Amino acid sequence: MKLSGDVEMPLLGFGTWQMRGRQAYEATLAALETGYRHIDTATMYGNEPQIGQALRDSGLDRRDVFVTTKLPAGNAGREWETIRQSLRELGTDYVDLWLIHWPTGPDELVRTWEEFLAIREGGLARAVGVSNFSPAQIDKVTAATGQAPAANQIPWSPSGHDARLLAEHRDRGIVVEGYSSLKDTDLRDPVLAEIASRHAVTPAQVVLRWHLEHGIVMIPKSANRGRIEMNFDLYAFALDQEEISRIDALSN
């Protein structure tokens, strides 16, 4: 996906929420070895040093991996301090995307976004965005600065599919990045099971492929190498429009 400033963001990423220590390191390294080139972390996850070590140990060029981290809302007012600490722990000079993890208080919202824009201009983040923001909150910071967030990371799954909300983001030129895609999905649903059987894949793969068909960025998480590899194996099949519509209807 193209973000503002011609930054390219891989549609398929690897999530690291709730992973700490050795598990975070080993899972991230396994993801990079599998072929993931987009890693999602956050200050509050407490695993940035392990993510950075896995990135270095992978032997990959830093420019070939898209790295996202996030500012805790409670760190509003300490944006520069927070991003510099994240960069130290990740062992990199910049991140590809920095997000406001949750909306700050209404009196801080615009000022925090102004600092994000300044940090982007300072070269510490190639793109900046938000997470868990409503369209109204996005409009508020955009109106105040003239610059919209590049992306909004929000919960997204078949059961929570909202075509209108997706269109509202796209009308604003904002990429939707979905999280908890598998966690919030009943993978035993008969519709998913039937479609998975038709393509000889798993229901989880169907859900992730559905994200690809809609152009929604996703960050599935697993500490199991087999599942990490399976979640990446999405390009040998495609969903037709009838299948996509049936999955969309699971939100009804």
Q: Which of the residues are catalytic? A: 45
Give, as one character, the DSSP assignment of residue 185. S
Rounded-to-integer distance, Cα 6 and Cα 126, Å: 10
Structure tokens that stand for 175 in this block: 């990429």
Category of 130 on φ-ψ map: left (φ > 0), alpha (ψ -120 to 50) or beta:
beta
Asked if 150 and 97 touch (Cβ cutoff 8 Å), the reply is yes
Rounded-to-integer distance, Cα 141 and Cα 148, Å: 7
Q: Give the DSSP H or E segment for 135.
A: helix 135-145
* Side-chain-facing half-sphere of 62: CA atoms under 13 Å: 13
One-letter amino acid at 44 equals M
SS3 22: helix
